[in-house]
């Protein structure tokens, strides 16, 4: 199997949103050809090659963090940590007079409430950013699942725009997107299986 060829095929057939969150760490193996999937006799040498490989390369998951994170392993770790948070869309409201569409929902976490992993994650989480608005992590009952209510307001002329929903950890200086983001507002609407609600101002 040619892993690099498979990776190129994946990136060519995936959406820009998916590619923005995808990354391949490619250590160089001592053999000119990648070992076969069933080459069990190569496991030890592959492990040594991976341990010795310098991942400090000028490749970034997201160009917005370029210059802030020099280690791709650290960057991938931040993205994996951020993917533990996700957005649950509860309703979509349309304000006819102001031509504003509101995406009402909440940020949740995949980790169970009342567990040490959730406590550790929230302890490392500083704030969230929706578009240009920042929201600090609220005080929550550690025994309950994490839930942060949010509303994303988009004017009608910008309904096709991309929306960033990001998180900042206290051991980093850059925001990274939570699971499923960035995404377009049209994708949010198409994924929502209930009709838009009209709401008077």
Largest CA distance in the chain: 69
Residue 135: band (very low, low, confident or very high) from pLDDT cuts 50, 70, 90? very high
Tokens 């969230």, located at residue: 128
The rounded radius of gyration (Å) of the Cα atoms in the chain is 21
Residues 34-68 have pLDDT tens digits of: 788 888 888 888 888 888 877 665 544 454 554 45
How far, in Å, CA of 177 to CA of 128, rounded? 9
Per-residue H/E/C for 19-45:
HHHCCCCCCCCCCCCCCCCCCHHHHHH
The confidence score (pLDDT) of residue 122 equals 94
How far, in Å, CA of 51 to CA of 28, rounded? 11
The confidence score (pLDDT) of residue 39 equals 85
Domain 84-198 has CATH 1.10.405: no
The confidence score (pLDDT) of residue 194 equals 56
How far, in Å, CA of 22 to CA of 11, rounded? 8
Residues 139-193 have pLDDT tens digits of: 888 789 999 999 999 988 787 788 999 999 998 888 999 998 988 888 888 877 6
Residue 49 has which token pair?
């090659």
């Amino acid at each position: 199997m040619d892993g690099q060829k498979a990776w190129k095929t994946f990136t060519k057939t995936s959406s820009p949103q998916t590619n923005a969150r995808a990354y391949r760490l490619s250590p160089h193996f001592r053999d000119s050809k990648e070992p076969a999937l069933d080459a069990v006799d190569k496991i030890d040498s592959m492990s040594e090659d991976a341990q010795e490989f310098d991942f400090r390369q000028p490749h970034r998951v997201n160009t917005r963090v370029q210059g802030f994170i020099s280690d791709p392993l650290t960057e991938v770790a931040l993205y994996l940590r951020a993917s533990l948070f996700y957005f649950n869309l509860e309703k979509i409201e349309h304000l006819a007079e102001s031509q504003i569409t509101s995406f009402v929902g909440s940020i949740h976490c995949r980790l169970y409430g009342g567990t040490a992993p959730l406590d550790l994650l929230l302890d490392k989480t500083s704030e969230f950013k929706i578009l240009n608005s920042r929201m600090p992590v609220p005080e929550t009952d550690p025994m309950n699942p994490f839930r942060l209510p949010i509303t994303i307001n988009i004017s009608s002329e910008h309904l096709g725009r991309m929306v960033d929903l990001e998180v900042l950890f206290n051991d980093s200086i850059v925001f990274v997107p939570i699971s499923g983001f960035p995404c377009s507002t049209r994708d949010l609407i198409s994924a929502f299986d209930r009709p838009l609600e009209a709401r008077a101002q």
